[in-house]
Amino acid sequence: MRALLVVNPAATTTSARTRDVLIHALASEMKLEAVTTEYRGHARDLGRRAADSDDIDLVVALGGDGTVNEVVNGLLHRGPDVDGLPKLAVVPGGSTNVFARALGLPNDAVEATGAILDALENQTERTVGLGLAAGTPGTEDESVPERWFTFCAGLGFDAGVVGRVEQKRERGKRSTHALYVRQVVRQFLNEANRRHGQITLDVPGQDPVTDLALSIICNTAPWTYLGNRPVYASPKASFDTALDVLGLKRLSTPAVALYGTQLLTSSPEKGPRGKHAVSRHDLTDFTLHSKVPLPFQMDGDHLGLRTSVTFTGVRRALRVIV
């Protein structure tokens, strides 16, 4: 088997020595080319190269969810081709690693490498669905290029939190769960639209859902992790279905206290619920419109402000070693 290993040297939970050990372990079982990313978007370019190659069977992403997202977007730059594209394997190296953990992989890079080698030996894999987001035709965002996401996207509040965290990281702060919690509080205190939502969920064949103050799109469950605690925004979301949406119509202090507690105590059987909560399951196509530009994120990567995003849930998009 010929494999391309994409290594993010800035991965927060793996040292250079650990990465060398992992590379040696993988190289002992396959013909491996290891490439260290050098710029933002490099992992996407490497994934594209692998997709266009005739002799790469597997792409291994060593890094966090951002690295995985880039690799996936490179692999799928011409669209899904389950039988024709290289398979994907993920070695978690970030601070949260939602995609890898949702696949059932250990959160430790060394243990995950062992699990991947076992899966390759036993020829076990699964085909996962992915989400696709693009600018909506006929809007000011129609020229925004489409982009794939592996586990979640968000327009509004949660994307604002992601943006705040990225600003802190650019100033030298480490990406920790405590940093995320602090930014959630600051985003809440400064959220201009928390009492009067600006977002409309438009699903073909259904009445629009208006005045949402928060919108989270999930491709799997859990939505994220707070340390070792899984958080379920949409418990029914799955790699085997299309996309799920959680919307909240109010982010007043009592509402945030209620829904925040529900998120922290959520489970595979029970997520946020109440008169201001809106849930939709297994949506193939839908659009989120906003009356004002709002922050937008995909797989924990802040992508700027958007007023309209069209989503597509694509089943059986990519083969993953697991």
Write down the pLDDT at residue 196. 79
Give the chain's mean pLDDT: 94
- Does residue 158 contact residue 214 with C-beta atoms inside 8 Å? yes
Q: Where are the alpha helices (DSSP H) in the chain?
A: 16-27, 42-52, 65-75, 98-102, 109-122, 157-170, 177-190, 253-264
The reported pLDDT for the residue numbered 169 is 75
Q: Give the separation between CA 11 and CA 318, rounded to whole angstroms.
A: 24
**pLDDT, tens digit (0-9, with 9 covering 90-100), for 289-315:** 999 999 999 999 999 999 999 999 999
Q: What pLDDT band is residue 188 in, cutting at 50, 70 and 90?
A: confident
CA 296, CA 305: separation in Å to the nearest integer? 6
Beta bridge partners of 90: 61
Whole-angstrom distance, CA of residue 149 vs CA of residue 102: 14
Lowest mean pLDDT among 31-45, 174-188, 252-266: 174-188
Q: Is the pTM of this model over 0.85?
A: yes
By residue count, the chain amounts to 322
- 237 and 246 Cβ atoms separated by less than 8 Å: no
In this structure, what DSSP letter does residue 170 have? H
> In this model, does residue 176 exceed pLDDT 80?
no
Q: Name the one residue in this structure whose structure tokens are 């997202």.
A: 69
Name the one residue in this structure whose structure tokens are 């829904």: 259
The predicted structure's pLDDT at residue 156: 92
Say if residue 11's pLDDT is above 90. no
pLDDT in the model for residue 179: 81
* CA-closest candidate to residue 321, choices 171, 22, 115: 115
Using CA atoms, how far apart are residues 151 and 232, in angstroms rounded to an integer?
12
Q: In terms of DSSP H, where are the helices of 16-64?
A: 16-27, 42-52
**At 125, is the secondary structure helix, strand, or coil?**
strand
CA distance 107 to 91: 9
Q: What is the mean predicted confidence (pLDDT) over 82-107?
A: 96
| Per-residue pLDDT reduced to its tens digit, 106-164 | 999 999 999 999 999 999 999 999 999 999 999 999 999 999 999 999 999 889 888 98
| Model pLDDT, residue 194 | 67
Q: What percent of the chain clears pLDDT 70, i.e. is strictly above it?
A: 99
Closest C-alpha to 152, from 61, 213, 239: 239
266 Rama class: left (phi>0) / alpha (psi -120 to 50) / beta: beta
Which among 89, 101, 99, 51 is positioned nearest to 73, based on CA atoms? Answer: 51
Distance CA 37, CA 41 (A): 8
pLDDT at 119: 97
Confidence at 286, pLDDT banded by 50, 70, 90: very high
Q: Using one digit for the tens of pLDDT, what is the confidence trace for 227-252?
A: 889 999 999 999 999 999 999 998 88
Contact 52, 59 (CB under 8 A): no
List pLDDT tens digits, range 22-41.
999 999 999 999 999 999 99
Peptide bond into 80 cis (omega under 30): no
* Residue 250 CB contacts under 8 Å (≥ 6 apart), including other chains: 194, 195, 197, 213, 276
Q: SS3 for 239-289, per residue?
A: CCCCEEEEEECCCCHHHHHHHHHHHHCCECCECCCCCCEEEEEEECEEEEE
How far, in Å, CA of 180 to CA of 255, rounded? 20
Average pLDDT on 34-53 reads 97
Summarised one tens digit per residue, pLDDT across range 194-217 is: 667 999 999 999 999 999 999 999
Cα distances (Å, whole numbers) of residue 86 to 45, 48, 129, 165: 14, 11, 16, 33
